[in-house]
Amino acid sequence: MKRSAVALLSGGLDSMLAVKMMVEQGIELTAVHFTSPFCNCSSRNTGCGNQARQ
């Protein structure tokens, strides 16, 4: 039985490391990152949103 999960990416190191650990365990992931109009990020091409698109 193949295991699958949804990973919620916050943009921090902890969520990226959790995803990496699950992938190494053979878990099929769907990564989700929300872009909020209330975000005060200086650049949209940094952080986990960019990583999720790769």
pLDDT tens, residue by residue, 28-41? 999 998 877 766 66
Q: What are phi and psi of 29, to 5 degrees?
A: -115, 145
Query: Percentage of the chain surpassing pLDDT 90?
Result: 43
Domain boundaries, the chain: 4-53
Q: Output phi, psi for 45, to 5 deg.
A: -100, 20
Confidence grade of residue 17 (pLDDT, cut at 50, 70, 90): very high
Asked whether the predicted pLDDT for residue 54 surpasses 80, the reply is: no
Q: What's the sign of the alpha-carbon dihedral 7, 11, 13, 14?
A: negative
Q: Is 27 exposed, middle or buried (0-12, 13-18, 19+ CB in 10 A)?
A: middle
pLDDT value for 45: 56
Three-state secondary structure call for residue 37: coil
Report the predicted TM-score, pTM, of the whole model to 2 decimal places: 0.60
Mean pLDDT of 35-53: 60
